[in-house]
Amino acid sequence: MNGLLNALAVVHLASRSLMMRWSLALNKLSTSSIHRLWDSPKITLNVDRYLTNAVRSILAGEPLRRIARRRCLVLLGVLCIVGTTPAEAVSQTDLLKLYAHSRIINYEQFKCFDALITRESYWRVDAKNGSHYGLGQMRNLNYKKLDGFTQVDWSIRYITKRYGSMCNGWRFFKANGYH
């Protein structure tokens, strides 16, 4: 505690000395005063750096460089871990959902369609359940040969014609276990 009080007293004296130096320099605008003004920030900077390091070392109980080194190592370790995390590519499922949402503008209807397709096939184009194929688990043999985007179109068309909307199809599925 005495060390801290001594450091604060030195800081107070240094700042008072600096204030006196500036007021004298402003009163006498001679060449020597201008040179002293030019040099005083450099001297002040050195005194401030010394006092800051001394106070911080007293407060922390160890030299500043060791603390800074430890913090830099921790930061470097975190950056290495975060920086080496691989980026995930967009999956086929994400693309199919995005495509379906572009076809079904209403979000509530899209959520019902998403729930229905997720329960039927988990958005797998090659899903097979007995004689049912693809995303919408249809029986048409041509359906299983189609790409995922066309399967989405066929499923939307089928559900709309049979149930009137995606949410009606989802309600029917929840009540009966099929659509």
Sequence-ordered strand ranges (E) for the chain: 128-129, 132-133
DSSP secondary structure, 146-160, as one string: S-HHHHHHHHHHHHH
Burial class for 135, CB neighbours closer than 10 Å (0-12, 13-18, 19+): buried
Q: Is the pLDDT of residue 119 over 70?
A: yes
Top-confidence residue, 67 or 165: 165
Per residue in 139-168, pLDDT (tens digit) is 988 898 999 999 999 999 999 999 999 999
What are the residues facing 133 on neighbouring strands?
128, 138
User: Per this entry, what is the length of the chain?
Assistant: 179
Cβ 165 vs Cβ 108: under 8 Å: no
What's the average model confidence in pLDDT over 122-131?
92
pLDDT attached to residue 141: 85
Cα distances (angstroms) measured from residue 175 to each of 137, 140, 170, 171: 18, 24, 9, 6
* Model pLDDT, residue 177: 86
Mean pLDDT across 102-110? 95
Averaged confidence pLDDT in the chain: 75
User: What is the C-alpha to C-alpha distance for residues 174 and 119, in angstroms, rounded to an integer?
Assistant: 10
Q: What is the pLDDT of residues 77-89, one digit of tens each?
A: 666 665 666 667 7
Confidence of residue 99 (pLDDT cuts 50, 70, 90): very high
